[in-house]
Amino acid sequence: MPDQSKAVRFEEIALPHLGAAYNLARWLLHNEHDAEDVVQEAYLRALKSFSGYYGGDSRSWLMTIVRNTCYTWLQKNRALRLSDPIEDKLDGVGLDFADPEMILLQSADSQMVRQALQELPVEFREVMVLREMEDLSYKEIADIVDVPIGTVMSRLARGRKRLQALLAKHMGKEAGIELPRNA
């Protein structure tokens, strides 16, 4: 493959996923400029390793590189600390959603949800972003994050529970209600 057509082919394959790539980077890094830098770096990395890409799911391929570049950046610049030992278990997760106040979420404005999502530990945040915003399947998320599919589901479950709790807290504050428990 001539280098010229390789570069063109790379653009054709990688640039359509720029929106997803930027959104993930932006959610993981919190900052517009950092997101741009990291996405650019990820694309350059992808370009370099493009000869190793033999078709397949181009989005998963690219998003894996973007996600890993984000983590590298976080480790270097933010002393990335996985928030807490992730309990990838589902016990008791589902029931919380039955709490009456959770139904109030529908009235939460996007700014509030955005803030709550930002507060989520990065491991939950990434699966939430990939699932809810990019509409990726468990399998695709598992490939990108490099965990088993079961872990994707449990992280989604825990992330949703935490997010709901955070939202409830924010809404409670706004409404002047002190909620008795935390996430």
Among 105, 147, 179, 183, binds another protein (CB under 8 A): 105
Count Cβ atoms below 10 Å from residue 49 Cβ, excluding itself: 11
The tokens 């996985």 sit on which residue? 82
CB closer to another protein out of 5 and 79: 5
Shortest distance (Å) from residue 42 CB to another protein? 10
Residue 90 has, within 13 A of its CA and on its CB side, a CA count of 8
Binding to another protein in span 116-155, by CB under 8 A: 117, 128, 131-133, 135, 137-138, 153
Residue 18 tokens, joined: 């720029």
> What are the residues whose beta carbons fall under 8 Å from the beta carbon of 66, sequence distance 6 or more?
21, 24, 25, 38, 39, 42
b/e map of 148-179 (b: 16 or more CB within 10 Å)?
A: eeebbbbbbbbbbbbbbbbbbbbbeeeeeeee
- The tokens for 34 are 């950092």
Could you say which residues in the range 5-34 bind another protein, by CB under 8 A? 6-7, 10-11, 15, 18-19, 22-23, 26-27, 32
Of residues 50-79, which lie at the interface with another protein (CB under 8 A)? none
Point out which span in 56-64, 65-73, 75-83, 161-169 binds another protein (CB under 8 A). 161-169
Binding residues (CB under 8 A) for another protein: these are 2-4, 6-7, 10-11, 15, 18-19, 22-23, 26-27, 32, 35-36, 39-40, 43-44, 47, 90-100, 102-103, 105-106, 108, 110, 113-114, 117, 128, 131-133, 135, 137-138, 153, 156-157, 160, 163-164, 167
